[in-house]
Structure 1
Amino acid sequence: MTPPDYEYLRKLLKDHSGLDLSADKQYLIESRLLPLARKYGLSGIPDLVTKIRGGAYIPQVVEAMTTNETFFFRDKVPFDHFRDAIMPDVLKARAARRSVRIWCAAGSTGQEPYSLAMCLKEMGATLAGWRVEIVASDLSQEVLEKSKAGIYSQFEVQRGLPIQMLVKYFKQSGELWQINPELRSMVQHHQLNLLHDFAQLGVFDVVFCRNVLIYFDQDTKINVFNRLARSMEADGFLVLGAAETVVGLTDSFKPVPERRGLYRPNGARGLAAAMPRVAVAG
């Protein structure tokens, strides 16, 4: 791959997905795009770049470069926050309207939104009479289709999913497991690029936007954070990945004390102060 081809692909990926590759990531592009070139019968990446410059294969290239690493109850702490802090607060704040909207802004193959759905089902009668919406969005239509189907391999269900939840919420079919229809019906799917306007999704009480902004440059992160704030209730919750923060980037959100990775829009109604203080390592 020539330096001009690499620079062209860097710009293309940043413009289309926000992915901000440093100057020394040629190996990453080669490892992801060489199989794609071969899939389409091309001789290599230079041939693929020629096709891209002509307008072909751009969605496929962006999808091939997008990281879709995920697993059930990934990192555990955000789901502890969801059960122990977020939902008790939301139930109190939304008691009058009895509805809650949750958005997984990088839903990938579905493990995160379905983990949240299982958390909600475990709340049982507490949510009786409530309308709960979970919206899962992703740049990749391919991973959204897998999420809609809710079918996972033995390896995938063994990553982070407690055995009691596997037995309770999944049905086995050969070597595959499918999450039950009731939980699948709790999740709506939308193809969405976070670089583009997402106001059409409406306003949310809770937003999980984990492990996607780490790939963006600072200006793009700021832009996304500010738009996320406008898509949230004033007393909502934003959950970021362990390596992500709003600190030093925007005043649109403020950290929740003692809750790593948990934020509220600035101007929240002081509910964070009333939340239980739980020390979290890290």
Structure 2
Amino acid sequence: MPISGSEFDFVRTLVRREAAIVLEPGKEYLVEARLLPLARAAGERDVPAYVARAMRDRAQHPKIVEALTTNETSWFRDSSPFQAFEQRMLPDILASRTDDRVLRVWSAACSSGQEAYTVAMVAHDRLAAAGWRLEITATDISEEMLARGRAGRYSQLEVNRGLPATHLVKHFQRVGADWQVSDQLRRCVRWSKLNLAAPFPPGPRYDVVFLRNVLIYFDTATKRDILQRTARTLRSDGWLLLGGAETTLGVDEAWERVVIGRSAAYRPQARIPAGR
């Protein structure tokens, strides 16, 4: 049985309130597909029955929000942002910084960790050779995705999605039918839960923030708020990378757009005072 209009409204209101994700009318099919496993696990006969239960049982709410969080990801996704990171951002930071020899990167909405580990593969050896340390903060709203990222273990199908064979051989070990990220790279990444629509916790200022393919799920006001708070997490000479379908233009004009090869990056136009 398909979900009713009132059931869909309950789910979309819940997800909007808890995660600021906008589910437009017409996305009923997505809600049904994502909630069906939860309904089965809860012993309910179908999705409408599960939603009715969730209306009475607040313990189901985090499960619904997590189920409706998009977890699409791959290694070196879109490739050009990582080329910009390697060929422009890293050299600029290494050349201009003499005091603090730590590169701090934030992978926001990191999903199951492919982006964070891609950054580590690109930067680790170059930084180590220059006497620098790499610190990556990987955050996501989904505890399940964070657990997968911490484990650093991926199926053959997952490593086939964009991971060059040279990196697979160098940075992974075979574990049964899966592939395990090396301990060296795993030590570079710290994982924590974060809702981008909520205030950010205190933390370091980052050199590079990967905020890719997530703003598209928010309305304009939420996008602007996230961008403004993200600016306050960046060093004054820091860089922001967005997804190919995302931009700060027309949303938050406090950013300078910089074209690097086939990619665009963003920098704060003026020094941003610390804060979240």
Sort the Cα spacing of 1:124 and 1:250 in 2 relative to 1 into closer, same or farther, 3 A: closer
SS in 1 for 2:44: coil
Rounded to whole Å, the distance in 2 between the matches of 1:268 and 1:255 is: 16
Residue 113 of structure 1 corresponds to 116
Q: Which moved more, 1:31-40 or 1:183-192?
A: 31-40
| Equivalence for 2:150 | 148
Query: Residue type matched to 2:63 in 1?
Result: Q
Deviation at 1:107, TM superposition (A): 1.1
Distance apart, 1:8 and its partner CA: 1.5
The aligned runs of 1:118-133 (5 Å cut-off) are 118-123=121-126, 126-128=129-131, 130-133=132-135
Partner residue in 2 for 1:278: none
Q: Does 1:248 align with 2:250?
A: yes
Relative to 1, partners in 2 of residues 1:115 and 1:173: Cα closer, same or farther, differing over 3 Å? same
- 8 Å contact kept, 2:7–2:52: no
* Maintained 8 Å contact 2:8/2:28: yes
* Match in the other structure for 2:203: 201
Deviation per residue, 1:101-152 (Å, 9 max, x gap): 1000111111101011011124265432x13210000000111111111101
* 8 A contact 2:75–2:114 mirrored in 1: yes
C-alpha separation in 2, matches of 1:34 and 1:257: 43
Other structure's SS at 2:210 match? strand
Deviation per CA, 1:186-217: give whole Å up to 9, x if none. Answer: 00001111011114233211100101111111
Q: For the residues of structure 2 that align with 1:231 and 1:125, how far apart are their CA atoms?
A: 24
Q: Which residue of 2 aligns with 1:277?
A: none
Query: Counterpart of 1:206 in structure 2: which amino acid?
Result: V
With structure 1 as the length reference, what TM-score do the two structures score? 0.91
Instruction: Give the distance between the partners of 2:130 and 2:219, measured in 1 at CA.
Output: 39
* Amino acid paired to 1:133: E
Question: Which of 222-231 and 201-210 deviates more?
Answer: 201-210
Match for 1:32 among 28, 31, 34? 34
Contact 2:124 2:134 in 1 (8 A): no
- Offset from partner CA, 1:81-110 (integer Å, 9 cap, x none): 110111111112322221221000111111
Aligned to 2:194: 192
**Cα–Cα, structure 1 residues 31 and 179, in superposed 2: closer, same or farther, change >3 Å?**
same
Counterpart residue identity of residue 32, structure 2? E
RMSD: 1.6
* Structure 2: segments with no counterpart, 5+ residues: none
Q: Does 1:235 align with 2:237?
A: yes
**Aligned with residue 160 of structure 2, among 138, 158, 161:** 158
Shift of 1:34: 1.8
Q: Which of 65, 69, 82 is the aligned partner of 1:66?
A: 69
Choose 116-125 or 248-257, whichever is displaced more. 116-125
Q: Choose the corresponding residue for 1:265, options 248, 256, 268.
A: 268
> Are 2:189 and 1:181 equivalent residues in the alignment?
no
Q: CA contact under 8 A between 2:32 and 2:47: conserved in structure 1?
A: yes
- Paired AA for residue 148 in structure 1: R
Identity %: 43
Q: TM-score, normalised by structure 2?
A: 0.93
SS at 1:200 equivalent: coil
1:103 aligns with one of 102, 106, 111:
106
The 1-side partners of 2:202 and 2:259 are apart by: 31
Distance 1:155 1:49 in 2: 33
Q: CA deviation at 1:42?
A: 1.0
- How many residue pairs are counted as aligned between the two chains? 268
